[in-house]
Chain A
Amino acid sequence: MKLEKEEIKQISTLSRLEIEEEKQEMYSDQLSTVFGYIKMLEEVDTEGVKETTQVTGLEDVVREDIVIASSEEKRQKLIALFPEKSGDLLKVDAVFDNSTEE
């Protein structure tokens, strides 16, 4: 199985990862190797076998939906983590002005 450079471009766009042009061949080779290896699962007969999605057997773990107030100190710590801000607000580029995406 070979993942072509075009497919790597497509996957990296979906993954929101910028991959340098000169690295695309490398990722194409490596991902092809990984999926080539994974292919060995095809030889396993899984007819009628259920998927395992968790191992604890716990079901419907619920708790009361209670609002726990955050302290002003914690709020300030979170704001301090913003990469860019305007006052106490998180600054990001406009969501609906995205010309690079197809």
Chain B
Amino acid sequence: MNLNELTIKQAYEGLKNKEFTSVELTKACLNRIKERNKDINAFISVFEESALAEAKKADEMISSGKQQMLTGIPFSVKDAIDTLDLRSTGAAKILDNYVPPFESTVISKIRAQGAVLLGKNNCDAFGHGASNENSMYGPVANPHDLTKVAGGSSGGSSAAVADHQCIFAIAEDTGGSIRQPASFCGIVGLRPSYGRNSRYGIMPMASSLDTVGPMTKTVEDIAILMEVIAGSDEKDATTVPDEVPEYTKNLNKKEKFVIGLPQEYFETDGMHEETRKLVENKIEKIKAHTELEVEFKPVSLPYTKYGIPVYYIIVPSEDSSNLGRIDGVRYGMRSKEAKDLYNIYAKSRGEGFPEEVKRRIMVGTYSLSSGYYDAYYSKAQKVRTLIIEDFNQAFAQVDLLITPTSPFTAFDMNGKINDLMAMYLADVFVSPSAVAGLPGISIPVGNDSKNLPVGMQIIAPRLGEEKLLNFASLVENV
């Protein structure tokens, strides 16, 4: 096995037992990136020099007995998350030369343990998209089939993990941006509960939905990372004060589960038969597994189909105001064509944002404008309440919900980019829980006949990550 193919846990053990050094591990990842980036395009920036310096420092920490869980482990970060003194573009040309003088809290926590930051992952610009084709740095190819998309918006992160270009990645999920690409690339990805992890230092998209979470090769690695990154932060007033559980201690623990199967998630239009079959087969295997105490119950979430329309009002609305700060005035690119203040804004933004970003800003501006607010934003916020009540009713009867992560597997490059609604509907199973602020994980359940991975989503009540991760760890290899 090559070093870059290790999990966090394996790499930790190997470093601890002096089987290899962090420098060797980091070089293995950097070599893999060099070999593959021209085909997959998972990285916008690679920080070879600083990564090797960090690895050397990590090796010193390890030899002086100061190893922590993530010391010396190479990882990558979605480019819409700020990293101190390291270029962060958000995959938009307007921030092509942007070097943040501050850092995301989540990334600081990871780097404080001595983890090695390899580089920044490609994504849909500012997280806007479901295929990673809205990046101004080119699309990301799926490592399982280079003619297919990697999913989005965190497609660079999912491809980098699946292709072993890093040991783990940190990304952001507003309406499915971790779970959907995780399913397309056959890896594990967790959207935490809203408020569980600090949003400080991420390029804000929809502030009432944004979350930061891990993308890994195993459920155990997710638990390891959540113990490090979760918790309240005085720099993000929406983080919750609840104590962070010891997620790793609670893995593979015998526990009784009642699992809900929401019918709306198994019989939607455009669902691939093979995708549904693979998820149902996994459920059958769980049922047949005698060591597991699991009861399945059919449940109904009747407002599911309104998840996407609610999402496409709330998100562009919040997007349009959040992106107001990126205007070519104080940082980022300022258009050379601009001759007055209005045009500094309009031309810099016109040149520096891709089409999907402009679409969302205009949809949001329109939804929030006087006379339309009640019909759109206010209406969406009310339907959002009904979607939350749907989940509350389901969770009164069951502990967790199981659904497919996506109705289909990775689609062709350019396959949906010109059909806006088809692209938006790719998030049909991941946006309702995001709108409700719930945690959800996608785990791989096998490949279809074209050898493309299928993911299964497990959704928990708010702050139910402990039970969610335990269940996921128990069924991961069933």
Contact = CB atoms under 8 A, between A and B. Distances in A.
Given A37-B421, A90-B329, A95 B334 contact: no
Contacts of A41: 306, 309-310, 313, 379-380, 383
Interface string B405-448: 00000000000000011001000000000001100000000000
Contact of B309 (A37, A56, A74, A90): A37
A101 B341 CA distance: 10
Interface in B301-344: 303, 305-306, 308-310, 312-313, 320, 324, 327-334, 338-344
A84 B385 contact: no
B420 A34 contact: yes
A71 B189 CA distance: 37
Interface in A84-102: 84, 90, 92-95, 97-101
Contacts of B320: 15
Interface stretch (B64-72, B164-172, B274-282, B345-353): B345-353
A17 interface: yes
A14 B329 contact: no
Interface in A12-66: 12-20, 23, 27, 30-31, 33-35, 37-38, 40-42, 44, 46, 49-56, 58, 61, 63
B285 interface: no
Nearest to B437: A55
B240 A58 contact: yes
Best-buried of A14, A15, A20, A33 by chain B (most CB within 10 Å): A15
Interface string B349-392: 11101010011011101100100000010111111111010000
Contact of B382 (A20, A30, A49): A49
Nearest to B356: A30
A48 to B, nearest CB: 9
A49 B362 CA distance: 27
A34 B312 contact: yes
B306 A44 contact: yes
A35 B379 CA distance: 13
B45 interface: no
A93 B194 contact: no
A67 interface: no
Contacts of A52: 381-382, 384-385, 388
A41 B313 CA distance: 10
Interface residues of B, number: 69
Given A34-B363, A61-B237, A82-B331, A94 B341 contact: yes
Contacts, number: 176
A30 B350 contact: no
A14 B328 CA distance: 16
Contact of A16 (B85, B194, B327, B421): B327
B98 interface: yes
B141 to A, nearest CB: 26
Contact of B362 (A17, A38, A55, A74): A17
Contacts of B353: 17
Interface SS, B side: helix
Given A17-B349, A63-B234, A98 B341 contact: yes
A82 B331 CA distance: 5
A100 B342 contact: yes
A93 to B, nearest CB: 5
B37 interface: no
Contacts of A83: 328-334
Contact of A27 (B358, B369, B421): B358
A19 B358 contact: yes
B156 interface: no
A64 to B, nearest CB: 10
Contact of B383 (A8, A44, A78, A84): A44
A44 B340 CA distance: 46
B346 A18 contact: yes
B99 interface: yes
Given A16-B345, A17-B358, A19-B350, A38 B312 contact: yes
Nearest to A63: B234
Nearest to B235: A63
Given A30-B420, A51-B381, A84-B334, A11 B366 contact: yes
Contact of B385 (A13, A27, A51, A63): A51
A101 B342 contact: yes
A56 B327 contact: no
Contacts of B332: 81, 83
A4 to B, nearest CB: 13
Nearest to B339: A93
Contacts of A53: 208, 381
14 contacts: A16-B342, A18-B351, A23-B355, A40-B305, A44-B303, A46-B382, A49-B385, A55-B194, A78-B331, A81-B99, A81-B332, A83-B333, A93-B344, A97-B340
* A-B pairs with lowest CB-CB distance, top 4: A55-B437, A18-B350, A83-B334, A51-B381
Given A17-B353, A49-B385, 13 more contacts: A12-B346, A15-B349, A16-B346, A18-B350, A38-B309, A52-B382, A54-B238, A58-B238, A58-B240, A78-B331, A83-B333, A98-B341, A100-B342
